[in-house]
Amino acid sequence: MIKLKPSLVILAAGMASRYGGNKQIESFGPSGETIMEYSIFDAIKAGFGKVIFIIREEFAESFRLSIEPKLAGKIELDYVYQSLDKFSGGIKIPSDRTKPFGTQHALLCTKDVLDAPFAVINADDFYGYDAFKQAYDFLTTEAADGKYACVGYELRNSLSDHGSVSRGEINVNEAGNIVGITERKEISKINGKAVVKDGVSDLELPLDTKVSMNFFCFTPEFVTWSEAEYAKFLNANINNLKAEFLIPEVADQLINAGKGVMKMIPTEAKWFGVTFKEDALIVKKQLLELTGEGFYPANLWN
C-alpha cells in the first residue's frame, strides 16, 4: 500500500494543429468547463491527490488564470513546461522544428516533480469515471517499479467522423498483460469500418479492438528509464521534423526489452474527444446529456 496518493499528469502542451486552436482551455461543459476539468473532477472523486499539468510556457499565465480559481482547495496543483531543448543532451535542435517532441518527451519533463505513482492522460479527451476509479485502484494496490498498466477502450468508441486518428492497438496474453502496443496511424472511419491507411495497403481493424487512449499508470521509475531511450530517439531522428517520442511506443519498447510488465485495464467508460473542430459540437452535446442524466453537476466546481 502506498503512502502518497497517486498523481494525475495531464498532457496539455500539444499544438492542436488539426483542431485549429487551444482546445485545452476551450469551454465545452454547460457552465464553461473544459474537457480536462471533467477528468480532474473524476480523479478527485476517485481519490487522486495531485494534478500535474504539462503545458507550454508561453501560455502558462492564461492557463493558470483559467484553472486555479476553480480548483483552489480541492486538489494540489503543479506545473511543468515542455520545450524542445529539454533533455536534448546538447544536441542542436533544427531551427525549423516547431512541433513538440511527443507525449513521452512531455512526460519526461515531469521527472523532477513526480513523487508518487501516477496516471497520465490527454487534456482533450473525456475518459469517464470508471477509468479513473480503476486506475486509482491499480496505482494504490498493484503498481510497482516494472509493473504498470494501460486503460483499454474499444476502437469503435474512439474514431472521429471528421478525419483520421492515431491509436495504439493493444495486444494481450492470457494473463491480461500487454505483449505489445502497435501504433496505428491514419485510422479512418469508412462505411462503419475502421480502416488503417499505411501507404501500401488498407488494413481493417475489428471495431472491438482494444486501443490505448494515452491513459497509462506508471511509477516515476518509468520516466527515469525513458531518459536514455529519448537520447537514442534524438540521435536517430533529430533531422526528422515530424518524428515524435510517444508513450505507447516507449511502453512497447519497455515490454519488449523485458524491463517490466503492463496490465491492460478494460473499461466500460465512454470515451470521446476533440481531434477536429467539427468534433466540438458533438462533445458539447454528450457532456450536456451526461449532466442531464445526473453523472455530473451543471457546474462542476460550484
Q: Which three cell numbers stand for residue 175?
A: 494473463
Residue 245, pLDDT above cutoff 90: yes
Q: Is 135 domain-assigned?
A: yes
213 located within any domain: yes
Which of 187-214 are b and which e, b meaning 16 or more Cβ less than 10 Å from the residue's Cβ? bbbeeeebbbeeeeeeeebeeebbbbbb
Convert the pLDDT of each residue in 113-164 to its tens digit: 999 999 999 998 999 999 999 999 999 999 999 999 999 998 987 887 778 8
Look at the chain and report how many structural domains it folds into: 1
pLDDT of residue 197: 79
Q: Is residue 302 part of a domain?
A: no
Q: Contact 222/108 with Cβ under 8 angstroms?
A: no
Position 298 in a domain: no
CATH number, residue 145? 3.90.550.10
Range of the domain at 200: 7-292
Q: Is 300 within the bounds of a domain?
A: no
* Span 38-97, pLDDT tens digits: 999 999 999 999 999 999 898 889 889 989 999 999 999 999 999 888 998 888 888 888
The helix (run of H) or strand (run of E) holding residue 292 is helix 279-292
d(CA 167, CA 245): 14
CB of 149 within 8 A of CB of 266? no
Q: How confident is the model at residue 2 (pLDDT cuts 50, 70, 90)?
A: very low
